Structure 1
Amino acid sequence: MARELRVPSFLTALPAPVRWLALPLALSCTVVVLLGSWGAPAAIEVPKPTGRAAGYCRDLAAALPQEVLGHARKDPSPGSPYVAAWASSPRTVLRCGVDRPEALNGEHAKDLSPTIDDVTWWAQKLDDGGYRFITTMRRAYVEVTVPGGAFSNPLDPVSALNGVVKANIP
């Protein structure tokens, strides 16, 4: 005995061509939304250090680990010796040779600045819930951006990278 397929009542009020296109249209819209949300990450501004700072940053780039706290290194393309990223979702980004933050000249100069094994990191909370950490008192400024939710403690990746920064950026 064949079972009769019942069409929901709200669809029966629509003309047949519209009913036939409703499911493919809904599936197409879903695919477009999913692909849009999986798009390429935002572009990362590549610093342009000069002189000794550029040399320190190249040394740091050569010494950076391939993994940070279980997250594999996945640098943005095209590659630069001044930018590294680890594939946490969203990703953690290190930029070497950034300019000295203007905020260090003003009222935020005395904000939270944790010191880890003789490296001081100026911390800045971002609008998206993440943090930006920038070294102070070093020959080249190193910035580590940790997106909100990527780690249970936003200082964890900074702590993991601290030793290599200390060894390569005097």
Structure 2
Amino acid sequence: MSGGPPVRPGYHRRVARELRVPRALAALPAPVRWLALPVALTCTVVVLLGSWSASDDGVEVPQPTGKAAGYCRKLAAALPQELLGHARRDPSPASPYVAAWGTTSRTVLRCGVDRPDELNGEHAMDWSPTVDDVTWWSQKLTDGGYRFVTTQRSAYVEVTVPAGAAANPFDPAAALTGAVKANIPG
């Protein structure tokens, strides 16, 4: 004698019918069917995370942690609204770790970036100017622009200057040196 309520005739067949796998999935082997939902959920999460880490303008937003994040927020508050005659137009959505000046060919500052891998390779000895005790490692980009990254600071700051955005590609980084020095300790 069972302790549960009586089961109506045909109950198990009706439940089984309601839980049937769609025909498209029924043709697949069982392990594939079992993994379909977890794989779909994982892909959704990856897409969502990817959309949160890059701005609508295609600028990858750094995710600094700890003290570096605090230094970057202080730097963001100190950045100028105009840089070498170009108005500040930050990417959307706004982030305290990214700033931009200009319109089509614009200078972009990203604070809290990872240490560039190139600093360990053949580009480690590339031209690295120092302005007011802030050293900027430089790299010429394939599109003719330049990337400058601070070295020997508590957070890495990157300034990307596209070709033609400034008379001298180093001018934007040099103009931002005072704000970097005042807010990112060496």
* TM-score (structure 2 length as normaliser): 0.68
Say if 2:91 is the partner of 1:76.
Answer: yes
Counterpart contact for 1:89–1:150, Cα < 8 Å: no
**How far, CA to CA, are the matches of 1:95 and 1:42 in structure 2?**
13
Q: Return closer, same or farther for 1:113/1:101 CA change in 2, 3 Å cut-off.
A: same
Of 168, 175, 180, 1:153 maps to 168
- Report what 1:55 is aligned to: 70
Say if 2:151 is the partner of 1:113.
Answer: no
Amino acid at match of 1:169: I
**How far, CA to CA, are the matches of 1:147 and 1:125 in structure 2?**
10
- Report what 2:159 is aligned to: 144
Displacement after TM superposition at 1:109 (Å): 1.1
Displacement after TM superposition at 1:88 (Å): 4.7
Of 133, 136, 139, 2:148 maps to 133
Of 59, 67, 70, 2:82 maps to 67
Say if 2:43 is the partner of 1:43.
Answer: no
**How far, CA to CA, are the matches of 2:132 and 2:103 in structure 1?**
25
Counterpart contact for 1:73–1:86, Cα < 8 Å: yes
**How far, CA to CA, are the matches of 2:168 and 2:103 in structure 1?**
13
Displacement after TM superposition at 1:110 (Å): 1.2
**How far, CA to CA, are the matches of 1:167 and 1:42 in structure 2?**
28
**How far, CA to CA, are the matches of 2:71 and 2:114 in structure 1?**
14
Give every structure 1 segment of 4 or more consecutive aligned residues whose post-TM-superposition deviation is greater than 3 Å: none
Structure with the greater alpha carbon radius of gyration: 2
Counterpart contact for 2:63–2:113, Cα < 8 Å: yes
* TM-score (structure 1 length as normaliser): 0.74
Identity of aligned residues (%): 75
**How far, CA to CA, are the matches of 2:162 and 2:70 in structure 1?**
28
**CA distances 1:93-148 after superposition (whole Å, capped 9, x unpaired):** 00000000011012211111000110000000001100000000000000000000
Counterpart contact for 1:88–1:150, Cα < 8 Å: no
Displacement after TM superposition at 1:89 (Å): 3.5
Counterpart contact for 2:57–2:91, Cα < 8 Å: no
Counterpart contact for 2:89–2:103, Cα < 8 Å: no
**How far, CA to CA, are the matches of 2:181 and 2:105 in structure 1?**
26
Structure 1 stretches of 5 or more lacking a match?
Answer: 1-40
Q: How large is the Cα RMSD of the aligned pairs?
A: 1.1
Amino acid at match of 1:73: R
**How far, CA to CA, are the matches of 1:91 and 1:46 in structure 2?**
16
